[in-house]
Amino acid sequence: MKSIFFVILSLCFILVSSDSSSAANKVEVAGELGNWQLMVNGKPFELKGVGVGFDYGSHGEDYLAMAKEMGANAVRTWNYTPGGINRDYLDHAQELGLYVASWMWLNPAKDEWTNISYKEGSPYLDIYRKRVRRWVEEIKDHPALLMWGVGNEVIFFSSSEEEKIAFAKFLNELCQMIHEIDPNHPVVYASAFEKAFPYLAKYTPDLDIVGINMYTHVVAMHKRWEMNGFDKPYIFTEFGPVNKWGVGNDKNRLPMDPPDWHKAKQYKRLFKDMVKYKGYCLGGFVFFMGELDQWTATWWPLNWKGLKRASYWEAYTAYTGKEPENRPPRINSVKLSKCNDLLPFEEITVEIEAEDPDKDPLTIDYDLRTLKDDIELRIPDEYYEEIMTPTEGGFKLTMPSFESTFILYILVKDNHGNVAIVNTSIVVGEKRPALED
């Protein structure tokens, strides 16, 4: 009987031990003004994050694994839905040793969306009270959870001053509720640049961390944070190269997507400037790992499917302190024989000048996508009519049969999983995109 009791006791000890390894974390902000520190289970945690909307790509790419290889220790989501959190994402992150900033998406109160309002008495408030409660109760004990993100640029995109104030007050109510349900993880809101600062400072005192989506300058954002008198630190919930309002237009009057090498330089400057404000800034989530269709598919992603771009390796250096063993190619110039007033089935010539810092052999590829209302689409999805013929210095491309505005992606790949990309607009037909005001 003694031996049986000992075996049972040993099994119980093993079960308890295995459970303790997956227990919820205690995450908190410690310190004081200018000396704040994010703590995980009593130990300082230097946030090295990257935004990863979905853990797997459309062709099976493991974006969380790429984030881990890049040196990140945390990832940010955007996409909690009424159907519940994707626990597989959290489990996947835990397996890789990554923490997750789990986000609740709340819609802005726009004039044209009459069913959405944050004013007192709105039925929309109760919908989100229940949704947030369910979200927090469902995953608060998951060992991969780092923090709660509630709202992304809601104040910026809400139409009226009254709605902006109402949301900031409602956000404070949600912070209080989350703290009551789960005192072990901080709450952050993602502001579009400094636009939400006055509202958060005045109406949301229970927010733990100010989040900033930033595509300009770290120094400017820090000064504006100071001007609002916050008594809490900030993180960059998104940061990356300048957006389409900060660049010129191409021959088709569309924003010019900067080349890879230029974006890499911008990331390098952002990483360097963030270090200046350590103790105020707790780190951030570089934007973006995965697939996007905002303006172009290449404006912000650090990758193209499973291939790595110059910005990926800039983040790698910042997060690991190491230089990459192999660097991606660089495209120095791209020339098109024609980019507008094209006829269906007309052929153009694309000349490319590229080099590789490691003298690797290079291959050229392309991708052609339609553009409509600033969102990329493939029309028709099932049938690709364009034809590419390789040439000595690039390729010839036969246009599709239908009139549209297209984005042509020129890809130069090495044999080490790296890629350089340049894109340009092409117009088949006489239609012209209108410049925005």
d(CA 328, CA 325): 10
* Residues 294 and 337 reside in one and the same domain: no
pLDDT digits (tens, 9 = 90+) for 7-16: 444 444 333 3
For residue 416, what is the domain's CATH number?
Answer: 2.60.40.10
* Residues 345 and 296 reside in one and the same domain: no
Asked if residue 400 belongs to a domain, the reply is yes
Give residue 294's pLDDT.
80
* Residue 181 Cα to chain centre, angstroms: 28
| Three-state DSSP class for residue 167 | helix
Give residue 374's pLDDT.
60
Where is the domain boundary, 301, 320, 339? 320
Asked if residue 13 belongs to a domain, the reply is no
Neighbours of 239 (CB within 10 A): 26
Structure tokens at 384: 């690709």
Asked if residue 2 belongs to a domain, the reply is no
Asked if residue 161 belongs to a domain, the reply is yes
Asked if residue 335 belongs to a domain, the reply is yes
* Residues 421 and 348 reside in one and the same domain: yes
pLDDT digits (tens, 9 = 90+) for 297-343: 999 999 999 999 999 999 999 999 999 999 999 999 999 999 999 99
Cis peptide before 380 (omega within 30 of 0): yes
Read off the DSSP letter of residue 294: B
Asked if residue 375 belongs to a domain, the reply is yes
- Please check the confidence at residue 437 and state whether its pLDDT lies above 50: no
Asked if residue 71 belongs to a domain, the reply is yes
Structure tokens at 286: 């570089």
* Residues 214 and 358 reside in one and the same domain: no
* Residues 155 and 54 reside in one and the same domain: yes
- Whether the CB-CB separation of 393 and 404 falls below 8 Å is answered with no
Percent of the chain with pLDDT over 90: 82
| Cα–Cα nearest to 302, from 155, 141, 156, 420 | 420
* Residues 247 and 228 reside in one and the same domain: yes
- Whether the CB-CB separation of 191 and 156 falls below 8 Å is answered with yes
Mean pLDDT of 424-430: 91
* Residues 78 and 204 reside in one and the same domain: yes
* Residues 309 and 338 reside in one and the same domain: no
Show the domain range for 121.
24-320
* Residues 358 and 280 reside in one and the same domain: no
Whole-model pTM?
0.91
Number of domains in the chain: 2
Which of residues 14 and 240 earns the better pLDDT score? 240
Kindly list the distances between the CA atom of residue 113 and the CA atoms of 108, 109, 117, 146, 150, in Å, as whole numbers in the listed order: 9, 7, 8, 33, 20
* Residues 209 and 252 reside in one and the same domain: yes
